[in-house]
Amino acid sequence: MSVTAAPGFVAAGCHAGIKRRKHDMALLATDDGKPVACAAVFTRNKFVAPPVTLDRARLAASGGKAAAIVVNSGNANAGTGAAGMADAEAMSAATAAALGIYKAHVLVSSTGIIGNPLPMDLILPAIPKLAKKLSVEGGAEAAKGILTTDHLAKEAAVKGSTFTLGGMAKGCGMIAPNMATMLAYLTTDADVPQGELQRILKAAVDRTFNTLNVDGATSTNDTVILLANGRAGKPDMREFADAVHRVCEALTLQMAKDAEGMTRMVMLRVTGAASDAEARAAAKNIAENNLVKCSWYGSDPYWGRLLGAAGSAGVEFDTEASAVAYGGITVSRGGIEIDHDRAAVTAHMKNERIEIEVNVGAGGNGSAQVIGIDLGPGYIKENSVTS
């Protein structure tokens, strides 16, 4: 189990017909229909989908309470205007009716193609069916129902000393820091005040989901939600925060490994920056550079491309003090190549997971890490069609 690992939560997934064959809807709810503490982090994209607008308004009005989340995949309900908002409202109303709860406590998520109206003739009849299927065992089916171009469901759980935390996520493309085309849902039986829950979730998102950079694209629908029903009592807050981080980290790494067209996942660390913010900017510029990503695909330790991307990031950069290392082996210092074990570097570049460090030579203690992905034919194939 994952998202239903904590006592008090049930879920279900199904094929409603939005996609040809695979599951395309999911429902997550409290087992008694009562609203619980809810924290959420959403996309920073200003071109935002109606479900995100709806959820923000619902949580603001309820003071951070929710009892159910209904999700559809295959269609993002983005770029759909007032009709899209009406459809999101209708999804929440149908869910509330099926569960016998207040509409104000139902959140909605959508993911998939942008610009197409939701097929409500398929979605609305599926919601009562989902409600009837809700169970603790339904977590795995729900994890399938939220996927789009993902190849695998993404699930994780942590058993704390006094509480349980579980989660599910989707995402494998259009992913950059600030989340992107990703949805994640976490549940726990820990008793955590909503304000503290929000702080912990935001910190975990910044350290995990916001370090993943597949293609530099920030989506319209990104949503991470954490529900806490309090049944296990108050946890040790440090242990709880670590558990949230661990679950988010596990889901992030699963998304990276399942990224569209991915053959190599790169743990890219930038050091020696004037500040952490400048390190993040340099890391982002490197991870999004297509020439760099192509070199990763080709297992080519082309260090000059790394420095070129870092030097154009608009941050403090000193060539004479710069350095680049692959797998802990320094290949460049002071802007030139140095003697190194080429065979060892070549072997490291053949791995599915590559470690790279770029020191920008600014003389500061600023550092940052992002998870980057290579660029090959698989990504182009996946994103060259819209349906």
- Tens of pLDDT, residues 6-56: 999 999 999 999 999 899 999 999 999 999 999 999 988 888 899 999 999
Residue 385, pLDDT score: 56
- Amino acid sitting at position 351: N
Contact assessment for residue 205 and residue 224, using Cβ atoms and an 8 Å cutoff:
yes
Cα 15 → chain centroid: 23
Residue 174, pLDDT score: 45
Q: How far apart are CA 77 and CA 48, in angstroms?
A: 10
Q: How far apart are CA 224 and CA 184, in angstroms?
A: 5
Q: Any residues with CB less than 8 A from the CB of 226 and at least 6 apart, and which?
A: 38, 39, 40, 185, 186, 187, 188, 197, 201, 244
Tens digit of each residue's pLDDT (9 = 90 or more) over 206-252: 888 888 875 555 567 889 999 999 999 999 999 999 999 999 999 99
pLDDT confidence bin for 383, thresholds 50/70/90: low
pLDDT confidence bin for 76, thresholds 50/70/90: very high
Contact assessment for residue 125 and residue 94, using Cβ atoms and an 8 Å cutoff:
no
**Domains of the chain in sequence order:** 9-257 (3.60.70.12), 265-382 (3.10.20.340)
- Which position has the higher pLDDT, 258 or 341? 341
In this structure, is the dihedral angle defined by the CA atoms of residues 210, 215, 216 and 220, taken in order, positive or negative?
negative
Name the pairing type of β-strands 183-188 and 223-228.
Answer: parallel
- Which position has the higher pLDDT, 100 or 383? 100
Among candidate residues 361, 354, 253, the one with its CA nearest the CA of residue 299: 354
Rg of the chain over all Cα atoms, to the nearest angstrom: 22
What is the CB neighbour count within 10 angstroms for residue 322? 23
Determine what percent of the chain is predicted with pLDDT higher than 70.
Answer: 92
**What angle (nearest 5°) sits at the alpha carbon of residue 188, between those of residues 178 and 152?**
55
Catalytic residues: 181
For residues 270, 276, 278, 284, the Cα torsion angle rounded to the nearest 10 degrees is 50
Residue 44, pLDDT score: 80
Tens digit of each residue's pLDDT (9 = 90 or more) over 172-190: 654 444 544 589 999 999 9
Among candidate residues 257, 238, 233, 246, the one with its CA nearest the CA of residue 352: 257
Residue 47, pLDDT score: 87
Q: To the nearest whole number, what is the mean pLDDT of the chain?
A: 92
